[in-house]
Amino acid sequence: MSHTLVIAELHEGKVRRSTLSAVTFARGISQPFDILVMGQGAASAAAGVVAFGAQKILVADDVSLANYICERFAPTVAAIGKGYKVIVATASSFGKDLAPRVAAKLSAGYAADLSAVRVEGDKLVYRRPVFAGNAYASCSITTPIHVVTVRQSEFGAAEPSGGASATETVAVQPADAAAARVEFLSLESTKSERPDLGEARVIVSGGRALKEQFAQVLDPLASLLGAAVGASRAACDAGYAAPELQVGQTGRIVAPNLYVAVGISGAIQHLAGMKGSKVIVAINKDPEAPIFQVADYGLVTDLFQAVPALVKGLA
């Protein structure tokens, strides 16, 4: 039995960078590992992962996989995955949707949102956050096959290791019967020149205190820093920021090199989504705001004065 199978996620004909976090996980527990690239156009997309040290790149390219529907993807992943000890995907919406169904098909144990893994003899011990990230639990899976998802914020993107992995075409399995009751309508995505939140090295994030001036205050700073823009749930719920910008337990989990929190008090749900950032800068007029407990640098002042002054100083 081969050891690890990494499930790649495709977007617009390319393997998403988030997949490289699952590659980092696979490298950390054992060699060899394979990468499964699925979807219409997978044959050309596979070129994006041939240099990362996989033993093989498995390609499932079929028109029936043009749009992601779990009930169409899971049978193929399960059929291939039964030959592996560990099946891993990044804990994106894709991975979180696909992995549990694959686990059910294989009667395999499932562990989600892993933040670390260690090898103890023949056993893998997984670490994952619990209680909104305020504590961590260690767990192990006793079934022959393990299905897991890993946090992109905890497993950095793998770097190319050189060489070129062999590519092998694999058969696409018939879809589950339930697929007949599922129809893909459309994918609505926002095009932006800014980095994706999950992949950004710098994030400038705002809270409800910005009110209608959310974009007016944050955009100039984000542009200067080449940063992605994030938001607290309160700012999103109030309509000051788009829902896809939400950072936190019920939004995106991020860990950039620099996280600038502007007007964010630091509710426990928000901290759970960003406290893994390398450097945290907080700007808030409330000296008792919880965000200062995790911040490396804090500025207690009026954000409407501080941010424009910061922009002027950096320009």
155-203 pLDDT tens trace: 988 999 888 999 999 999 999 999 999 989 988 776 677 888 888 999 9
Sorted by where each begins, the domain ranges of the chain are 2-181, 202-314
Q: Average pLDDT of 266-270? A: 91
- What integer best gives the mean pLDDT of the chain? 93
Look at the domain 202-314 and name its fold: Rossmann fold (3.40.50)
Percent of the chain surpassing pLDDT 90: 80
Q: What is the pLDDT of residue 284?
A: 97
Query: Binning pLDDT at 50, 70 and 90, where does residue 125 land?
Result: very high
Q: How confident is the model at residue 72 (pLDDT cuts 50, 70, 90)?
A: very high
The predicted model gives 272-286 an average pLDDT of 93
> Token pair for residue 309?
């002054």
What is the reported pLDDT for 121? Answer: 86
Is residue 127 a contact partner of residue 135, using CB atoms and an 8 Å limit? no
Residue 276: pLDDT band (50, 70, 90) is confident
CATH of domain 2-181: 3.40.50.620
For residues 71-98, average pLDDT: 96
Confidence of residue 1 (pLDDT cuts 50, 70, 90): low
Average pLDDT over residues 214-221: 96
- CA 44 to CA 13: how far, in whole Å? 8
Question: What is the structure's pLDDT at 74?
Answer: 97
pLDDT at residue 108 is higher than 90: yes
Q: Given this model, what pLDDT does residue 2 score?
A: 67
The predicted structure's pLDDT at residue 275 = 87
